[in-house]
């Protein structure tokens, strides 16, 4: 392989990093396939009110494209998306991207030693085929919305947080928000101000930590722009402070973890008590270990739940009749709008893309039946020349996943360089190496907050923790820095 053809599926942070670094490091202009009309991935199609990142923007951004003009510590969806558009334009990614183009199937063709992609476009009745030497999947886990079937009988308006309708008017409506995760924490304070009454149905409460939001002054922006090294130092501070605090997640019995839990409980209780809502404490203070489910970061969620036009339901929903929601404790509430803040189906990691490897092994079905094993979170045995970005084992609960993506792309490029230098057509991780890596990965979860028994979207269908990396980002960097080419079968 002297100059491989490369396809990138998705144009979020993962796809953009891959495209930019392939062009810069290898002079490879990859084809990017994006199923929507715009660059941005999850920051393009998630537009619900209050949508924002819970990682500071100076850290949740490309290391090679720092932005001195972030308006606030935690930026909104709109600002993050505009940043991504600006970077895409600077690096001419629009010229490489085919919009409204969905890759529905990827099949490894052994005779050709290439991937066959089946591509669907809106203007063609029939799908067409393209072949590539290498494929990067930048689909990510937060792609396919989780829409529970039990809510389909609701006879009023239904809106999912991932399919938001910005023109819909919630004014003076009776609204039910289902869920207590990140999207619910951000949506509830916004809709509470518009709705005549808001019901928040919480299956399990979420630990809430203060956002401590602030805006950057014009002077600080000027300082970052004129003296970029100060911005780099600030970013480094944001990164390392999160790495130092990792024991909150990495060791649930540590003194830091116990102190963190006590602090969260104290702060949450104080907010509720200060607003005369001691009755909400047993409903909103979680029993699970902080971090076992993703923390909610907010300065106004608990405050909104204390308002007179909000009712918090902790009893499970039993059934829905017409526009009435009935819970197991006998409560009945008639509402106009059902807002599903029920997250995403993260179990497959492949979205709607169907992937077939050697011997026609169907990866989607395989990962439904057995744990989603990978080699170094990027490659999969039996699926040569396939690079998964932000797939199984590479998500985070404590730091910026953009850093993880950059580590993954750097590792992938090092493999491609090796292939080009040694005229190798394909690389496939050995099953033994993959099993060894996966066993070590799962063993590393012992003693962490994620292994304390709660139900969360971090878990796969087999019950094992599938989404997360169990250690620090620094540890991940050095794990990928160590390349063992003998762990791959070469052809």
Note down pLDDT in tens along the chain; length 491 residues.
Answer: 778 999 999 999 999 999 999 999 999 999 999 999 999 999 998 999 999 999 999 999 999 999 999 999 999 999 999 999 999 999 999 999 999 999 999 999 999 999 999 999 988 888 999 999 999 999 976 667 777 888 989 999 999 998 899 999 999 999 999 999 999 999 999 999 999 999 999 989 999 999 999 999 999 999 999 999 999 999 999 999 999 999 999 999 999 999 999 999 999 999 999 999 999 999 999 999 999 999 999 999 999 999 999 999 999 999 999 999 999 999 999 999 999 998 777 666 898 899 999 999 999 999 989 999 999 999 999 999 999 999 999 999 899 999 999 999 999 999 999 999 999 999 999 999 999 999 999 999 999 999 998 888 788 777 889 999 999 999 999 999 998 999 999 99
Which residues does 436 contact at the CB level (< 8 Å), separation at least 6? none
**What pTM was estimated for this model as a whole?**
0.95
Of residues 76, 11, 75, 81, the one with CA closest to residue 43: 81
Contact 177, 342 (CB under 8 A): no
Which residues does 128 contact at the CB level (< 8 Å), separation at least 6? 118, 119, 121
How many whole angstroms separate alpha carbon 1 and alpha carbon 14? 24
In this prediction, residue 70 carries a pLDDT of 98
Phi and psi of 215, rounded to 5°? Answer: -100, 145
Contact 75, 57 (CB under 8 A): yes
- Interhelix angle 401-421/13-26, rounded to 10 degrees, is 40
* Dihedral sign from CA coordinates of 170, 176, 178, 181: positive
Helix%, strand%, coil% for the chain, nearest 5: 35, 20, 45
Of residues 166, 222, 200, 209, the one with CA closest to residue 50: 166
Half-sphere exposure in the Cβ direction for 162 (13 Å, CA)? 12
Give the rounded distance of the alpha carbon of 342 from its chain centre: 14
In this prediction, residue 463 carries a pLDDT of 81
Query: What letter would DSSP give residue 47?
Result: -
- What are the CA-CA distances from residue 52 to residues 77, 161, 184 (Å)? 5, 13, 12
How many whole angstroms separate alpha carbon 30 and alpha carbon 96? 7
Query: What letter would DSSP give residue 485?
Result: G
In this prediction, residue 435 carries a pLDDT of 98
Contact 394, 5 (CB under 8 A): no
In this prediction, residue 454 carries a pLDDT of 86
Query: For residue 288, with 0-12 CB atoms within 10 Å meaning exposed, 13-18 middle and 19 or more buried, which class applies?
Result: middle
How many whole angstroms separate alpha carbon 241 and alpha carbon 234? 11
Which residues does 483 contact at the CB level (< 8 Å), separation at least 6? 411, 414, 415, 418
Count of CB atoms situated within 10 Å of the CB of 251 = 14
Phi and psi of 250, rounded to 5°? Answer: -75, -20
Which residues does 324 contact at the CB level (< 8 Å), separation at least 6? 332, 333, 334, 335
């Amino acid at each position: 392989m002297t100059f491989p053809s490369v396809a990138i599926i998705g144009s979020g942070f993962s796809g953009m990093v891959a495209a930019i670094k392939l062009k810069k490091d290898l002079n490879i202009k990859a084809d990017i396939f994006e199923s929507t009309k715009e660059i941005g991935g999850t920051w393009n199609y998630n537009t619900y009110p209050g949508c924002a990142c819970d990682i500071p923007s100076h850290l949740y951004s490309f290391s090679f494209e720092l932005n001195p003009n972030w308006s606030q510590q935690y930026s909104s969806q709109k600002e993050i998306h505009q940043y991504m558009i600006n970077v895409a334009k600077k690096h001419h990614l629009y010229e490489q991207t085919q919009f409204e183009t969905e890759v529905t199937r990827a099949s490894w063709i052994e005779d050709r030693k290439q991937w066959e992609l089946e591509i669907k476009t809106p203007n063609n009745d029939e799908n067409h085929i393209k072949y590539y030497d290498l494929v990067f999947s930048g689909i990510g886990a937060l792609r396919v919305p989780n829409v529970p079937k039990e809510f389909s009988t609701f006879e009023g308006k239904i809106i999912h947080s991932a399919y938001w309708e910005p023109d819909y008017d919630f004014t003076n409506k009776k609204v039910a928000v289902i869920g207590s995760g990140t999207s619910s924490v951000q949506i509830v304070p916004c809709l509470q101000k518009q709705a005549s009454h808001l019901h928040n149905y919480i299956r399990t409460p979420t630990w809430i930590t203060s956002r401590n939001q602030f805006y950057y002054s014009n002077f600080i922006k000027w300082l970052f722009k004129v003296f970029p090294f100060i911005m780099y130092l600030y970013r480094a501070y944001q990164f390392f402070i999160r790495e130092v605090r990792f024991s909150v997640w990495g060791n649930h019995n540590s003194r830091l973890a116990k102190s963190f839990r006590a602090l969260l409980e104290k702060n949450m209780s104080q907010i509720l008590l200060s607003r005369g809502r001691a009755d909400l404490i047993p409903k909103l203070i979680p029993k699970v270990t902080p971090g076992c489910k993703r923390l909610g970061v907010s300065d106004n969620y608990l405050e909104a739940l204390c308002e007179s036009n909000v009712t918090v339901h902790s009893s499970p929903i039993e059934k829905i009749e017409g526009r009435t929601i009935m819970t197991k404790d006998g409560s009945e509430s008639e509402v106009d709008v059902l807002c599903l803040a029920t997250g995403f189906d993260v179990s497959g990691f492949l979205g709607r893309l169907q992937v077939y490897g050697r011997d026609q092994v169907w990866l989607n079905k395989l990962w439904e039946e057995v744990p989603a094993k990978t080699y170094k979170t990027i490659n999969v045995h039996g699926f040569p020349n396939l690079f998964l970005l932000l797939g199984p084992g590479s998500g985070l609960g404590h730091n910026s996943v953009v850093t993880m993506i950059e580590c993954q792309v750097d590792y992938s490029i090092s493999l491609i360089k090796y292939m080009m230098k040694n005229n190798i057509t394909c690389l496939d991780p050995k099953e033994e190496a993959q099993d060894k890596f996966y066993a070590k990965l799962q063993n590393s979860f012992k003693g962490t907050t994620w292994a304390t028994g709660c139900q969360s979207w971090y878990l796969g269908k087999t019950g094992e923790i599938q989404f997360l990396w169990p250690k620090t980002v620094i540890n991940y960097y050095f794990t990928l820095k160590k390349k063992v080419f003998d762990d791959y079968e070469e052809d």
